[in-house]
Amino acid sequence: MFTGGPIESTMIAERIRRLASDKRSGACEIFLGQVRDDEIEGARVEAIEYTAYKSMAQSRYEELREKIFDRYPIRNLDVLHSLGIVEAGETSLLVLVTSEHREEAMAACRETVDLIKSTLPIWGKELFGSEGYAWKENREKPNNG
């Protein structure tokens, strides 16, 4: 589930292209997580450096997949998360879900993103150029309005 550096648009395009062979899918929901140039106490985020407890993340990811497939009648789930440095504006997370109909793809994608953020041992270090760094803190899941 990991890739070194940012997720390039060619990688995303390739994964979308591969879906064409699944003629039973009527929907594909895609989420892209991007590094945002937040300003924190006067310093701007230039990049995030991602690290992970890789073996544990991989097994928790397998559990996450089982949970999502159990809960939603989807056809496929594809996740890619960056490790190492990803600059502001670049993509660090890709979640792709396919299903026959759109409702389950959309719901499964949303839950997958939430579970990645809350259950996988991955950490982000926000880099402020010459101003140092700060460890990222994930917000609580926002309330659905």
Partner 1 sequence: MIVHFFGKLADIAGSKKLRLEPRKCSEDLLRMLEEKLPELEQYEYMLTVNEEMVSGNRELDPNDEIALLPPFSGG
Of residues 35-94, which lie at the interface with partner 1 (CB under 8 A)?
50-53, 55-56, 59, 81, 93
| Residue ranges of E strands in 65-137 | 74-87, 91-99, 122-127, 133-135
8 Å CB contact between 63 and 41? no
Q: Does 5 bind partner 1 (CB under 8 A)?
A: no
Q: Does 124 bind partner 1 (CB under 8 A)?
A: yes
Indicate the residue among 25 and 108 with the shorter CB distance to partner 1. 108
3-state secondary structure of 118: helix
Task: Give least dist CB 96 to partner 1, A.
Answer: 15
Kindly tell me which residue out of 135, 140, 142, 145 binds partner 1, with binding defined by CB under 8 A.
135
Indicate the residue among 73 and 121 with the shorter CB distance to partner 1. 121
Q: Quickly count: other Cβ atoms within 10 Å of residue 107's Cβ.
A: 17
Q: Does 16 bind partner 1 (CB under 8 A)?
A: no
Total of residues contacting partner 1 (CB under 8 A): 25
Question: How far, in Å, are 44, 141, 145 from residue 38 at the CA level?
Answer: 6, 18, 24
3-state secondary structure of 49: strand
Residue numbers at the binding site for partner 1 (CB under 8 A): 33, 50-53, 55-56, 59, 81, 93, 113, 116-125, 135-138
